Amino acid sequence: MSWQCRLICGFLRRNFLPQTRKPIDIARVRLLTQRRIWTPRVPRGWRLREQYEVSDVPLRGEWLLCERLPAQRTFLYLHGGGYYFCSPRSQRAISFGLGKRADADVFSLEYRLAPEHPFPAALEDALAAYRRLLANGARAGSIVIGGDSAGGGLALATLIALRDAGDALPAGALLFSPWTDLAVTGASIRENDGRDPMFCGDVFARIAPLYLGAASATDPYASPLYADLRGLPPLSFFVGSTETLLDDTRRVAERARAAGVEVECEVARELPHIWPIYAPFMPEARRTLDAAAHFARRVTAAATDARGDGNPSPSQSSETSIAS
């Protein structure tokens, strides 16, 4: 573990973790996030453009667009934040890092937040955003969907809903510490309570109802862990070994693999929740974004060269562990 990672973990233990043990104050969390947010500069050769369209489903977000050459691929990125806070701006270290490394345009969706807009509002927004990309001329096989934490679970739910609706699927999905089980049944919720520098074990059980509203916690479009995962495109997971959400990744990765999906699952030793957000300061974050960009390049090339229809064939899966 790098000294930068130790510094960040120490900061999280002192400043973030204690807040997760308190009652949830939505307004305060949102305000603090807005005040304390740090965002990287727009990479040289790129430009940032906001988008807001009003139709049946409002489409709001921001584009990171390559000005040098036509982008070879497009990311649809879904931010985390428990479905009730954060924004594309708060996750720019990840979205900018992916776009720059993978020579990709990135659309970061500002989906509607709970509890004002409970499930399935966020899913409806993600589906509308993906379909708009296709309607605007992007090939399904050139798109990679990604997300972190709640956004990672939402990205996986979006794939499932697209498959069920018969839509052309993207080339693959990047999932950073995804929250896939809103029923909160993973053993790591208890086992890593006290080891996770960011979250106490019971916080997710208190957050989940904000998004679920009247829906079941095991609805597969809210909790992809409970879905039939057959027929999905390649999935690349990244999760920390001490995260309370570790089993949200391990279990869904195992089920996807058993369903014949190509799966990469990297378990990073003692790294904090969604550590790529600490790029460029943390070297582990830079390495993970490099690996994620490599995955995106590979699956979009495979979708274009082998089939060209956005639905790559399943192949051998793998699981590795990052020694940090």
What is the set of active-site residues? 149, 243, 273
| Neighbour-count burial of 137, counting CB atoms closer than 10 A to its CB (0-12 exposed, 13-18 middle, 19+ buried) | exposed
Name the β-bridge partners of 237: 175, 265
Non-local (6+) Cβ contacts of 69 within 8 A are 103
Contact indicator for 252, 307 with CB cutoff of 8 Å: no
CA-closest candidate to residue 93, choices 278, 228, 235, 236: 278
- Give the HSE-up count for residue 296: Cα atoms under 13 Å, Cβ half-sphere: 32
Q: How far apart are CA 317 and CA 263, in angstroms?
A: 5
Q: Are the C-beta atoms of residues 41 and 307 closer than 8 Å to each other?
A: no
Q: How far is the C-alpha of 18 from the C-alpha of 24, rounded, in Å?
A: 12
Residues 6+ positions from 57 with CB-CB distance below 8 Å: 124, 125, 128
Print burial letters for 23-61: b (CB count within 10 Å at least 16), e (below 16). eeebeebbeeeeeeeeeeeeeeebebeeeeeeeebbbbb
State the helix-helix crossing angle for 283-302 and 92-102, rounded to 10 degrees. 50
Report the alpha-carbon angle 225-205-90, nearest 5.
80
Distance CA 105, CA 107 (A): 7
